[in-house]
Amino acid sequence: MGFVVGIDVSTTATKAVLVDGSGAVVGSGTAEYGVDMPRPLWSEQDPESWWSAAQAAIRSLLASTGTGGDQIEAVGLTGQMHGAVLLDGADRVVRPAILWNDQRTAAECDEIRRAVGPERLIAITGNDAIAGLTAPKLLWVRGHEAATWATVRHVLLPKDYLRLRLTGDHAIDKADGAGTLLFDLASRTWSDEVLAALDLDPSLFPPTFEGPEVTGTITAPAADATGLRAGTPVIAGGGDQAANAVGVGVVDVGTVALSLGTSGVIFAPTEGPIHDAAGRVHAFCHALPGRWHLMSVMLSAAGSLRWLRDTIAPDAEFGDLAASASGVRAAEDGLFFLPYLSGERSPHPDPLARGAFVGLTLQHDRRHMTRAVLEGVAFGLRDGLDLMLAAGMPAPVEIRASGGGLASGVWRQILADVLDAELVAPSTTEGAAFGAAVLAAVGAGWFTDVPSATSALVHRQSVASPGPNRSRMAEAHAAYRALYPALAPIFHRA
């Protein structure tokens, strides 16, 4: 075996990782870029920045590891989901890409619900219309930039624009495609019914592929630009959450992934296309054939701890701040924190939700507030998990956990107690990029399927198990769940 490369087109940087036949990450290269926010609630990027960054990241990777392009057997792609990349008939970008965290499309979400029917929309796509998804962005451009929309001939997602530059092919994987709100979840491809209801031409959208399938090969110009070998297979890959799940070995039903970064995500594979009837958690295709997944998304997870640090303890290290909470008993004195600092998606799809401390007294200090933040995030994640369980997923025995928030031993224990499951960490911290490399290994023929690949390449270690506080935390969570309904009328008055 030679090597495979996984490339992650994230919101802030493009990363390329080199993985060998044992699953070891031999090296990586990264190139950063910014996000444009030309108006309040808007978030955009120039797709050319992804291509420039990918060239730099791949060349850095090859140079730093002394690897030749002819040693790379396949390339897998992943990246930020839901972005709208609009191209004309000559594959030229006609406007900046509108990103996943753009919030301009509330009216278009209402338009989609009216056109398809709210219950029918969820039944087909597995999801409600929310501003972050791709479909409302397309309707916004059509309604507000008619001259630009008239030139659009192709719609891609961010990593698939990189695919186009590498291979010359228009293609999308089924996991990322399901995040557009234009997929028929059960049939794993574009929904004729939704496209017709929204008056979107099916020719705008590329062919769809399963995550480990080959979608094209590196062209000669792309080889000159990156140092890769012309003819190297490029694998479909997956959106960043599906690829991250592959990277931590969460491909079989019964396993669950927890990602604790700025946002918090709980991800669970399913054998069929199940969904929450109210669309409060996402239901997408997984990055391997015959698998779907449920996903709950909390917008301010570790971001809540960052806010606390920046606001009341700007000179403190995150590790020290979190460790200070170890001296506070679990669910101390009825102090709660609602982590809705950026609004919320799961379990409350409410952009007007707000953060709050409830139960403060003169006896509470920074340690208690920190503990309340750590617990509040865990309770919010548990809310999402409970919705997924109610939708039909089995209860997890083991949760594969990743993300910067897991560096805190105190937080790991709180999460294990609240989620009532053992937390297991993967041996690599490369996340989605590593998952893209695993998919590439299958596409290169190293393994017959994705479960075989994860069994061989993903290594793990236990980091926390439920302890004696789990019953106390369950009682506190029951009280926490009453707070949002009580405070929502006040949030909505602002």
User: What residues act catalytically?
Assistant: 240
Give the DSSP letter of residue 218: -
Looking at residue 74, its amino acid is A
* Dihedral sign from CA coordinates of 271, 118, 206, 134: negative
Calpha distance 492→186 (Å, rounded): 36
Calpha distance 400→377 (Å, rounded): 17
Looking at residue 253, its amino acid is V
DSSP string, 109-172: HHHHHHHH-HHHHHHHHSS---TTSHHHHHHHHHHH-HHHHTT--EEE-HHHHHHHHHHS---E
Read off the tokens for 330. Answer: 């679990």
> What is the three-class DSSP state of 214?
strand
- Is residue 230 within 8 Å of 223, Cβ to Cβ? yes
Cα Rg of the chain, angstroms: 22
* Dihedral sign from CA coordinates of 354, 358, 363, 364: negative
Calpha distance 43→100 (Å, rounded): 8
Q: At what angle do helices 302-312 and 366-391 cross, to 10 degrees?
A: 160
| Angle CA 85–89–94, to nearest 5 | 40
CA neighbor of 175 nearest in space, from 91, 97, 114, 235: 235
Task: Extract the runs of DSSP E, i.e. beta strands, from 261-374.
Answer: 264-270, 282-285, 292-298, 336-338, 356-358
